[in-house]
Amino acid sequence: MPAINAVIFDMDGVLIDSEPLYMEMERHSCARYGVSLDKTELSRFVGTTQRYMWSAIKNEYGLTESLDCLIIQHQRRLIHAMCSEPLSPMPGTQTLLTTLNEAGIPCAVASSSPSKLVEVILRETGLRPFFNDVICGDDVKHSKPDPEIFLLTAKRLDIAPSSCLVIEDSIHGIAAAKAAHMFCIGLLNPNSGQQDLSAADLCVHNHDEIRQWLLKNK
């Protein structure tokens, strides 16, 4: 295993257990256009950008609304819902981030979610000060499983991709991390849907397992 000189976190399902709310909002948004999708069907979009998701739904169900209109309307409802909910980090998140910060290891967020939503979540959870940089879905052209977002994050941190550790909860995110030649820990979050994390270098059930593993391998 290479030396870990930076840690890159996915946000949804890793820093905050947001996927259940996301899927509920996606289900309601789809229903407005006469499309009925259950959680199993929506779980294939976990880890991808809203543009990727709505492009697929628009094409598969022949929606007449423009792609930008679908994205904007859904994003507006999602941000409103997030601002109305009490948001808190997943258990052990702050302890893990504090350990990394005290060790001088730079941390970043690489989330497929749009910047406006990421800003709201990081602000409301109080996590923003822990991160050296934040890269969002609207900063890249290609959605995970393309490695673009992780390669851009490594470039912004000025750390070689092979020296970066990624923490992900989705099959798309893990595929992107491995395509970027980064060591990847898969966080087994049952609320992230039917996710096959077998391609990860290591799978864990919580943030304390990650912290203990890092302390053993520093």
pLDDT tens digits along 12-44: 999 999 878 888 889 999 999 999 998 888 888
More confident site: 38 or 210:
210
pTM of the model: 0.89
Q: 132: helix, coil or strand?
A: coil
pLDDT of residue 1: 65
Q: Which two tokens stand for residue 149?
A: 């977002």
* Contact criterion met (CB below 8 Å) for 165 and 8: yes
CA distances from 120 to 58, 117, 216 (A): 27, 5, 34
Nearest to 181 by CA among 168, 164, 198: 164
> How many whole angstroms separate alpha carbon 165 and alpha carbon 105?
11
Task: Please state, for a pLDDT cut of 70, what percent of the chain lies above it.
Answer: 99
For 6-18+88-216, CATH gives 3.40.50.1000
* Contact criterion met (CB below 8 Å) for 88 and 16: yes
In the DSSP assignment, the letter for residue 74 is H
- Average pLDDT value for residue range 103-119: 94
- Residue type (1 letter), 218: K
Task: List the domain boundaries for the chain.
Answer: 6-18+88-216, 19-84
**Is residue 203 pLDDT above 80, yes or no?**
yes
pLDDT of residue 40: 85
- Average pLDDT value for residue range 164-172: 96
Q: 16: helix, coil or strand?
A: strand
Work out the pLDDT band at 86, boundaries 50, 70, 90. Answer: confident
**Is residue 157 pLDDT above 70, yes or no?**
yes
Lowest mean pLDDT among 4-8, 34-38, 107-111: 34-38
Backbone angles phi, psi at 165, to 5 degrees: -105, 130
The mean predicted confidence, pLDDT, of the chain is 93
> How many whole angstroms separate alpha carbon 96 and alpha carbon 88?
15
SS3 content of the chain, % helix, strand, coil (to 5): 50, 10, 35
> How many whole angstroms separate alpha carbon 109 and alpha carbon 178?
17
* CATH class in words for 19-84: mainly alpha
Q: 166: helix, coil or strand?
A: strand
- Count Cβ atoms below 10 Å from residue 59 Cβ, excluding itself: 10
- Residue type (1 letter), 102: E
**Is residue 206 pLDDT above 80, yes or no?**
yes
pLDDT of residue 173: 95
- Average pLDDT value for residue range 196-214: 96
